[in-house]
Amino acid sequence: MTALTDREAATGVPDGFVAVQSSAGFTRHNGGFFVHQELPIVASRIAPEHLNPLRIAHGGYLAAMADSAFGVIFKRQFNLEVPPVTVSLTVDYLGAVREGEWLEAHVEILKFGRSFASASCLLKVGERLVLRASGTFTVWKGEIPRQG
């Protein structure tokens, strides 16, 4: 058990994490994400609008979080203008997440090749394992729309 810093106590955001700048759209509508400034970790605080009827985080929200985490980390690590396009995504659900919990996606990039990229991640609340995901991605080669 570690003591909270003043910042964490005030904001609910652990030290080292900053909000991911998200333009309008699905990610912002669902509360956005935080990213660790040095480590390949994307996180969120589970809110009522992330839950399913069993009052645990909706499997769709968790899949979306894994997909977004891959995008955020690939974009930062390889200086991409937009996140890579997801070609295939597999998620295995290992445990439930409850409202108010701080959920972290620990991303590991396995390959960043000419035609495709591959990564896996583990979603955890503290040391408790919640989800395992992996995906195949390709770098977007089309036009990038201006945001307004």
Among the listed residues 20, 35, 42, 65, the single contact to a copy of itself using CB under 8 A: 65
Cα separation, 14 vs 86, in Å, equals 29
Question: DSSP character for 56?
Answer: B
Decide if residue 79 touches a copy of itself (CB under 8 A): no
Q: Which of residues 18 and 82 has its CB atom nearest to a copy of itself in the complex? A: 82
Minimal distance in Å, beta carbon 49 to a copy of itself?
4
CA 121 to chain centre: 9
Which range, of 5-13, 24-32, 36-44, touches a copy of itself by CB under 8 A? Answer: 24-32
120 near a copy of itself (CB under 8 A): yes
User: Of the listed pieces 2-10, 12-20, 35-43, 134-142, which binds a copy of itself according to CB under 8 A?
Assistant: 134-142
List binders of a copy of itself among 30-49 (CB under 8 A): 30, 48-49
Hey, what long-range contacts does 71-78 have (CB within 8 A, 24 or more apart)?
72/20, 72/33, 72/35, 72/42, 73/35, 73/40, 73/42, 73/107, 73/109, 73/119, 74/109, 74/112, 74/117, 74/119, 74/137, 76/35, 77/40, 77/109, 78/112
Q: Which of 11, 12, 55, 100 binds a copy of itself (CB under 8 A)?
A: 55
Torsion of CA 67, 51, 129, 20, to 10 degrees: 40
Answer yes or no whether residue 19 interacts with a copy of itself by CB under 8 A: no
Is residue 58 a contact partner of residue 69, using CB atoms and an 8 Å limit?
no
Residue numbers at the binding site for a copy of itself (CB under 8 A): 23-27, 29-30, 48-55, 57-61, 63-65, 67-68, 82-83, 85-95, 110-111, 115-116, 118, 120, 122, 129, 132, 134, 136, 138, 140, 142, 144-145, 147
